[in-house]
A = this chain, B = another copy of it.
């Protein structure tokens, strides 16, 4: 404990009297003006939702980015590798290892791309199709859970607002 030991002479901290054994009061989560910042609220909400999603996908051994990749290829089979990465907002360099893992697990594959021998056409395997179907069921149940919290209108309105942020910023 030899860190910031600079012999500061003042030690005024008689503000919060924390009696021993007292339950953690509301003040523990009081972040003041931060609570009114969109960026801060966005980060906290995203972490909460992702924590939940990661746990729900754990049984399938699927990370969010892996699920997104499979779901994208189900929707648009035959995408070029660079197109898939761009659509998901992932650098193409980082997409390589991500897709390598999906391919090693037999969930997706690279096929030759007819018109350009530099490119690969990405496709799900039958096993990939089955896994993404199961994952999307889990996902749908998760969305229903969110609807219980936000209300049906609230969830729909949230999606509109979030898309506006992502697209118009």
Interface size range on A against B: 35 or more
Contact between B109 and A11, CB atoms less than 8 A apart: no
Contact between A37 and B163, CB atoms less than 8 A apart: no
Question: Which parts of A30-48 form the interface with B (CB within 8 Å)?
Answer: 30-48
Nearest CB of chain B from residue A113's CB, rounded to whole Å: 6
Q: Tell me if A114 is interfacial: C-beta within 8 Å of chain B.
A: yes
Contact between A168 and B23, CB atoms less than 8 A apart: yes
Contact between B165 and A68, CB atoms less than 8 A apart: no
Q: Given A43-B46, A109-B4, A168-B149: A35 and B163 within 8 A (CB)? A: yes
Contact between B165 and A49, CB atoms less than 8 A apart: yes
A: which residues have CB within 8 A of B? 3-4, 6, 8, 10-16, 23-24, 26-50, 52-53, 64, 68, 71-72, 74-78, 83, 86-89, 100, 103, 109-115, 120-121, 136, 139, 142-143, 146, 149-150, 154-155, 157-159, 161-169
